[in-house]
Structure 1
Amino acid sequence: MSTSTKPPIQPLEAEKAAEEDYPLSAVPFSDRKPFWSLSLLLMGFALTSTTLFAGGTLGAALSFSQLLTIILIGNLILGAYCAALGYIACQSGLTTVLMARFSFGNVGSRWVDFILGATQIGWYAFTTAIIVQALLGVFGAPDSGLFYVLLVFFFNYAFCATAYIGYQAIDWLSRLAVPAMLVLVALSMALAARDFDSSAIAEPSGALSMGAALAVVIGTFISGGTQSTNWSRFADTGKNAVISTLSAFMIVNGVLVFAGAFCSLVYGSEDLVAAMGQQGILAGGILLLILNVWTTQDNTIYAFSVAGANMFRTRKRHAFVLGGATFALVLTLSGIYELLPTYLIFLGNVIPPVGGIIMVDFWLRHRGEFPALSANVPAFNWAGIIAYVVGSVVAYTTGSAGYGIGPVNGIVTAAVLYGVLHRVIFQPIREY
């Protein structure tokens, strides 16, 4: 194996990479973060309003025992998937899009950049519109006109401020927001338990099978979990990466699903903020909504910036934060965001196979250690590309038909197929 002829990274270049949160390089161990910092940040990412609404959907369809079973199994699967990627990210110091270079090829990995970036910027635009409409609805104001535009403009750029700064700012926001959100959810659950009347609870509709319910729990956030490596790469040990990720995606996500389901049972509403209004703590509901959305939106636009920086091979992550937020603003104000959910749910099915392929690539092909990013990789790793296409088709078709859990089917199919193809289709990796 020949020695790399590339010159070493100069101190000024290393400083710039650190300022931009290492978008094109591994996070050095000198800049790794402790467990408590990483866990709070990941919890803030997992505390998302879509999970609350997913819980509300389950609450009306399942019995209480079925609900608890689904939450336990679904979040165990989700947590295990994210934790496995988190461990790999910690060991390599790389994001999902950087790891994809080895499993998809130098050019092929740009498709991963595209689908991850497109999904995140779409959700950013959609969620900004939703929170503005929710706030205007609370105060009885029309969801159009100048006031609407001003609020969209304000929240669009306010939410990306912490992402622009990077890990340090998102870390501090999470330290403040996560405890506050957990206290507010606990208070609301206590009041809901007070108002709970078992005799008034309608029989479960049975509209969802157990498999479909699992798909709701897992599918709601698995595409986001695929990009949780943006943060787990900062873990100081593999153990801390795994425990932090599990605490966010298994425990906190599970609590949020239960909260949404319980509010749906007690108050007949899938909207926790509306339920908190009925409980007499509307101000707390508004605060919860803003913190909930902020800690997810900054992660969302951060993920877009990382994908964009890798696609164009530039360290200027800050530029992609501002550029992405501006593009999202156009999507929101144009009203196009209303057409996004179906498209984004489709992308949510075709993203998880990426994670399955990366796991097999790391453990089987590279024996638990990725090469240096300076390694000479082929333009296309056809084993990864073929496995991804097949896995995505399986995820979409089986999910649409109700056969099992679409994203999980896609992950397993892609992982198994890549495990076979990487031995059949030779893909050398050489140092310069």
Structure 2
Amino acid sequence: MTQNAPGNDYPLSEVPMHARKGLASTAMVLLGFTFFTATMFAGGKLGVAFGFAEMMAVIIVGNLLLGLYAAGLGYIAFKSGLNSVLMGRFCFGEVGSKLSDLILGFTQIGWYAWGTATAAVVIGKYFDLNEATVLGLMVLFGLGFCATAYIGYRGLEILSYIAVPAMMLLLMLSMWVATAKVGGFEGLLSVVPTGSLDWSTAITLVFGTFVSGATQATNWTRFSRSARVAVLASLIGFFIGNGLMVLIGAYGAIVYQQPDVVEVLLLQGFAMAAMAMLLLNIWSTQDNTIYNFAVAGCNLLRTGRRKTVTLGGAVIGTLLALLGMYDMLVPYLILLGTVIPPIGGVIMADFFYRWRGHYPRLADARLPAFNWPGLAAYGVGTVAAFSSPWVAPLVGIAAAALTYVIVTGMLGARRVSAPLQDL
């Protein structure tokens, strides 16, 4: 199969204009991606640490920053028709880009393993299944969740059109019942925080939880029909969608001392709805996650066989789930919030400063094996994020972008490129 065969989604080239999508399609896929159980745990920590009004301010600020970051990369994806790993060839070099492939691919396969394990463990607890049966469910889910990603963008789109409205309805129902239980809006305002978080830590929690996903949302915003579609879809997915997940987690923590909406639905007496929510919530993110892995893997291996890489990734993710990925979420989230954001910072600096807003066609570009300013900037951004006492992901992005601009300017490597022809 060639890389441009129908359903293979252009893993090694620009997405042509005839294959681009509108706002509804792009936003729905991104909402399916950001509607994710793990994000609710970040909201749960906010719910017990702030009064309701201050908590809402943290959620708005944190998710607005996340949405703007995703929108910046989404605009580049629209302009170029490329995703983050292909953009990596410009800012890190033909061989150097394999670094970002490994980092982005590793993070996504970790998410896939965690989601697969979570679905099996929660269902196992609810139905009181033995360990062997739970392990069997991990295998079933690990191979089953990749089905829509195997189809490609169209498969992700179809599932999102089913899952997102259904999840939205369940979430609104759960919030309505929770609000009534706590005594309405006045009851929410009167809840006294039992924990404490400073604003820097809180923003880091909100922004960092899904920044790895925002960095790779270019896999779908590159299908955008216009800059408006790319930017709005990014804001809808990451400001509104991710923000809603954080808010739901906070609600659960305030009212039920439980941030997971599945557990909340069980407490509210909606057992079947809880199981449906679990599977829709995880599946609609899992297929996007393994799709991300496949795209990074295709660039790493320089192969157009996206479907084969998708299946291979599902097998690896399933094995990691069987090996206990379920218990490693917190340290994994901290790692993601540190090593991923600087990649986005380098990409944006490279596109807007070095290439002045226009990449040449990837097939025509004469790129070095290693773009040392990009690799050095990524290293500086990562170290800055690791050592920052402030919002680590934002520091990593800013440090990487600033370093890239300074080093590129000093070396005189800035260049003017001709605008892309019609894709």
**TM-score under structure 2 length normalisation:** 0.94
Alignment partner of 1:57 is 2:27: no
Q: How many residues align?
A: 413
**Counterpart contact for 1:381–1:427, Cα < 8 Å:** no
Question: Take 2:167 and 2:406, find their aligned partners in 1: how far apart are those partners?
Answer: 45
Match of 1:296 among 275, 285, 294: 285
Aligned match of 1:4: none
Aligned match of 1:178: 164
Q: Secondary structure at the match of 1:19?
A: coil
**Larger deviation: 281-290 or 109-118?**
281-290
**Counterpart contact for 1:159–1:298, Cα < 8 Å:** yes
Alignment partner of 1:19 is 2:3: no
Structure 2: tracts of 5 or more residues without a match: 418-423
Aligned match of 2:113: 125
Q: Secondary structure at the match of 1:380?
A: coil
Alignment partner of 1:387 is 2:377: yes
Question: Take 2:215 and 2:273, find their aligned partners in 1: how far apart are those partners?
Answer: 31
Question: Take 1:52 and 1:15, find their aligned partners in 2: how far apart are those partners?
Answer: 38
Matches within 5 A, 1:154-173: 154-173=140-159
Question: Take 2:265 and 2:110, find their aligned partners in 1: how far apart are those partners?
Answer: 28
**Counterpart contact for 1:121–1:301, Cα < 8 Å:** yes
Call closer, same or farther: CA 1:263–1:317 in 2, change over 3 Å. same
RMSD, aligned CA: 1.9
Question: Take 2:254 and 2:278, find their aligned partners in 1: how far apart are those partners?
Answer: 20
**TM-score under structure 1 length normalisation:** 0.92
Aligned match of 2:181: 195
Task: Write the deviation string for residues 145-188 of structure 1: whole angstroms up to 9, x where unpaired.
Answer: 2x112211111111100001100011000001100000100000
**Counterpart contact for 1:119–1:344, Cα < 8 Å:** no
Matches within 5 A, 1:10-159: 13=2, 15-16=4-5, 18-142=6-130, 144-145=131-132, 147-159=133-145
Task: Write the deviation string for residues 302-344 of structure 1: whole angstroms up to 9, x where unpaired.
Answer: 0000000001111011111111111112212233664575245
| Structure 2 counterpart of 1:152, one-letter code | M
Task: Write the deviation string for residues 199-221 of structure 1: whole angstroms up to 9, x where unpaired.
Answer: 99762134211111111110000
For residue 285 of structure 1, report the CA deviation from its aligned partner: 1.4
Aligned match of 1:262: 251
Q: Secondary structure at the match of 2:303?
A: coil
**Counterpart contact for 2:30–2:237, Cα < 8 Å:** yes
Question: Take 1:261 and 1:343, find their aligned partners in 2: how far apart are those partners?
Answer: 21
**Larger deviation: 22-31 or 122-131?**
122-131
Question: Take 2:26 and 2:46, find their aligned partners in 1: how far apart are those partners?
Answer: 30
Question: Take 2:245 and 2:182, find their aligned partners in 1: how far apart are those partners?
Answer: 18
Question: Take 1:15 and 1:86, find their aligned partners in 2: how far apart are those partners?
Answer: 22
Structure 1: tracts of 5 or more residues without a match: 1-11
| Structure 1 counterpart of 2:120, one-letter code | V
**Counterpart contact for 1:360–1:419, Cα < 8 Å:** yes
Aligned match of 1:229: 218
Identity of aligned residues (%): 45
**Counterpart contact for 1:121–1:324, Cα < 8 Å:** yes
Question: Take 1:410 and 1:404, find their aligned partners in 2: how far apart are those partners?
Answer: 10
Aligned match of 2:392: 406
Matches within 5 A, 1:321-332: 321-332=310-321
**Counterpart contact for 1:24–1:310, Cα < 8 Å:** yes
| Structure 2 counterpart of 1:184, one-letter code | L
Question: Take 1:341 and 1:68, find their aligned partners in 2: how far apart are those partners?
Answer: 23
| Structure 2 counterpart of 1:259, one-letter code | I
For residue 97 of structure 1, report the CA deviation from its aligned partner: 0.3
Question: Take 2:4 and 2:406, find their aligned partners in 1: how far apart are those partners?
Answer: 41
Match of 1:419 among 390, 397, 405: 405
Question: Take 1:376 and 1:115, find their aligned partners in 2: how far apart are those partners?
Answer: 24
Q: Secondary structure at the match of 1:61?
A: coil
**Counterpart contact for 2:209–2:333, Cα < 8 Å:** no
